[in-house]
Structure 1
Amino acid sequence: MTAHSSDTPAATAQADDASGVAAEPKTRVGLVRLVRRYPTITIGGTLVIAIILMAIFAPFLGTSDPTAISTRMRTREPSAQFWFGTDMLGRDIYSRVLYGARVSLIVGFSVAILASVFGLAIGLIAGYIRAADAIIMRVMDGIMSIPSILLAVALMALTRGSVGNVILAITIAEIPRVSRLVRGVVLSLREQPYVDAAVAAGTRTPMIIVKHILPNTLAPIIVQATYICASAMLTEAILSFIGAGTPPIIPSWGNIMAEGRALWQVKFYIVLIPAIFLSVTVLAVNLLGDGLRDALDPRLAKQF
């Protein structure tokens, strides 16, 4: 039996090439549509990735030891030798700013993850189990009645300054906000017909929470986590600025600004440069959060 021409190796290769050429434009079109549809995700995500890469590869970006003191080089203006100038101890501000990004990112991401996990667990329990709701949420309300920065300062006063303790203090201050968000979502979800059907079928409470409630709380949690990350970075900088955060020996944006405030009127760049980096980072995370909110909210999402 004679084979059709379309089954020949040459024809098959041509078909594969055609499908590959067709798939590539579709991928490009889909990417362009995604960028146009959610520009805040693109801008915020690009900036966040750039800052993360800057922090990771700081040793390879022309930096020196951020803690090295040189009294001969004190308060030098920005120049080709010192791109961002030097502080009152002769330390290179460029190196300190790049290494300081590590502290802010570690604190921001760690607080976002920890607060989201613990807040999610508390919110699920409080929102679904009516008997536990009153007790748990009154405790959360009591914690929220204290301004987060004051609570963090009080917690730091009980411990020694370190990055781990800063993360712990800020996390405790942020958990109630996550738990209230999750509780509100769970209160509406537990009245849905599919939850009633699961209860009628004899499904146990833990399985209902894990299978039916938890997946529907992930979208708002992801969005909230980005705002917590940005807030944690600002709180860490505030704590370090007032001397209640990371030790001065650790380069962080808050410490750099705290050390340069005495010379603000004559050497403003010592405070201005780390402040710009902090502002851009917080702005990038907030833009990413806004974009994720638009993308994950079913009321705002549209078909491409």
Structure 2
Amino acid sequence: MSDVAERYPVAAPMPDVLPAIKSRRGAWGFVRHHPTIAIGGFLIFVLILLAVFAPYLWTVDPTALATTRRTRVPSAQNWFGTDMLGRDIYSRVVYGARVSLVVGFAVAFFASIIGLAIGLVSGFVRIADGLIMRIMDGVMSIPPILLAIALMALTRGSVGNVILAITVAEVPRVARLVRGVVLSLREQPYVDGAITAGTRTPMVILRHILPNTLAPLSVQATYICASAMITEAILSFIGAGTPPTIPSWGNIMAEGRALWQVKPFIVFFPAAFLSVTVLAVNLLGDGLRDALDPRMAKRV
């Protein structure tokens, strides 16, 4: 063995030309590279906990009247003060988070599912594209808030009807987004190859088209969630949304607008919670867009 080693010496190891790849695993690495997702997700998580555990967060009955304690300023006993009927604003704001979150998440889910189905069919089946898109264009020609008000006028005020009305107004936007993605995907060589190989249209859509629409659809769903929360607050503010017996941020602001100049805290606290919630959802959407779109990625 020694003769062989002397006769054929082993070359020295080559130096590393490329630097070692740094691992990005771990929670702190995720926060560093996706701060908007981390901040938005954390705020949404806190708001969800606030809504779920509302009865255990030093709240009282949000509908309990106390006429002797009307329009009291924030204090140690009433953290956010009381409204014109003596109800605790802190309790009403915390319970109102349930309405906004349920409406936002439900509208985002149903509008995404329905819009996804319509967009897939319209973008891939050319015969149905013209008719479906003309219907969607007709619905989109009506401002969403006006369409929601018109639909609410035909039904009674409830959380379920608010979700239905806002969903109808948001579906066309999802459908047009998915349709645009499908139109660009159906001309790809792998789709033509699948069709040439005899794959049926439903399987082509499920295997090759649908997975590539989920990333932009997820981003769009976050914006729909934020828009639905604002629309629900507007409907409740003008009296066309949830009934007054159900505390919501729009109801609280509507009841305090008459005293805005002398008792601004009645409107300020629900408005602040609504703003933070919408900001959190938009931050999450921006972060998902940057993370899921390769063109927006800063590092590979």
TM-score, normalising length from structure 2?
A: 0.91
- Aligned residue for 1:256? 252
Deviations 1:148-206 (A, max 9, x none): 00000000000000000000000000000000000000000000000000000000000
Q: Aligned letter for 2:48?
A: I
- Aligned residue for 1:238? 234
> Superposed, which structure 2 residues align to 1:123-272 within 5 Å?
123-272=119-268
**SS of residue matched to 2:58:** coil
Q: Take 1:261 and 1:54, find their aligned partners in 2: how far apart are those partners?
A: 25
- Aligned residue for 2:75? 79
Query: How far off is 1:26 after superposition?
Result: 6.2
Q: Which has the larger radius of gyration?
A: 2
**SS of residue matched to 2:245:** coil
Q: Aligned letter for 1:294?
A: D
CA RMSD of aligned residues (A): 1.2
- Aligned residue for 1:10? none
* Segment drifting more, 59-68 vs 30-39: 30-39
Q: Take 1:90 and 1:26, find their aligned partners in 2: how far apart are those partners?
A: 57
Q: Select which of 286, 290, 294 maps to 2:290.
A: 294
Query: How far off is 1:303 after superposition?
Result: 4.9
Tell me whether 1:282 sits opposite 2:278 in the alignment.
Answer: yes
Query: How far off is 1:300 after superposition?
Result: 2.0
Q: Select which of 93, 106, 113 maps to 2:102.
A: 106
* Segment drifting more, 35-44 vs 285-294: 35-44
**SS of residue matched to 2:103:** helix
**SS of residue matched to 2:290:** helix
Q: Take 1:31 and 1:121, find their aligned partners in 2: how far apart are those partners?
A: 35
Query: How far off is 1:224 after superposition?
Result: 0.3
> Superposed, which structure 2 residues align to 1:57-96 within 5 Å?
57-96=53-92
Query: How far off is 1:30 after superposition?
Result: 3.6
Q: Take 2:206 and 2:241, find their aligned partners in 1: how far apart are those partners?
A: 37
Q: Take 1:206 and 1:73, find their aligned partners in 2: how far apart are those partners?
A: 63
Query: How far off is 1:299 after superposition?
Result: 1.5
Q: Take 1:189 and 1:26, find their aligned partners in 2: how far apart are those partners?
A: 33
Q: Take 1:30 and 1:110, find their aligned partners in 2: how far apart are those partners?
A: 31
Can you give the 5+ residue segments of structure 2 that lack an aligned partner in the other structure?
A: 1-21
Q: Take 2:201 and 2:75, find their aligned partners in 1: how far apart are those partners?
A: 65
Deviations 1:242-280 (A, max 9, x none): 000000110000000000011111111000110000000
Can you give the 5+ residue segments of structure 1 that lack an aligned partner in the other structure?
A: 1-24
- Aligned residue for 1:5? none
Deviations 1:52-97 (A, max 9, x none): 1011111111000000001111111100000000000000000000
TM-score, normalising length from structure 1?
A: 0.90
Deviations 1:88-118 (A, max 9, x none): 0000000000000000000000000000000
Give the 4+ runs in structure 1 shifted more than 4 A.
none
- Aligned residue for 1:122? 118
- Aligned residue for 1:45? 41
Q: Take 2:51 and 2:27, find their aligned partners in 1: how far apart are those partners?
A: 28
